[in-house]
Amino acid sequence: MSPFIWLGLAIAGFVAAYLVGWPAWESHRSREQRDENAERYLAWRGRASPPAGGPAREGMTRDERRRIYAGAALAVAAGLALLTFFGTS
């Protein structure tokens, strides 16, 4: 197979990994930021719940986790295609 096909596959894989994984990461980060802002507001108003040893974070949703893993798998596959490109050229 032509080395440029491997390069095309690598570029397409990295783009796909970005398009799949980045929105899930941003969603997770924005939700954490909103929760933190709500906690700060309640503390400022004097209505915050007593601290329980640290901030209670919900973590990622199942869909976000699945999309992050899919993006990581695409990035690994694109990396392998890039290594193959360098090996065949």
Per-residue pLDDT tens digits for 61-70: 899 999 999 9
Q: What is the pLDDT of residues 5-53, one digit of tens each?
A: 999 999 999 999 999 999 999 998 888 888 888 787 887 788 777 666 5
31 belongs to a structural domain = yes
Residue 52 placed within a domain: no
pLDDT of residue 75: 97
* pLDDT of res. 45: 80
pTM, 2 dp? 0.76
| Enclosing domain of residue 8 | 3-46+60-88
Number of domains present in the structure of the chain: 1
Phi/psi for 46 (5° steps) reads 80, 20
Residue 51 domain-assigned (yes or no): no
For residues 4 and 86, give the distance between their C-alpha atoms in angstroms, rounded to a whole number.
10
pLDDT at position 82, please?
A: 96
Does the residue 65 lie in any domain? Answer: yes
Residue 55 DSSP SS3: coil
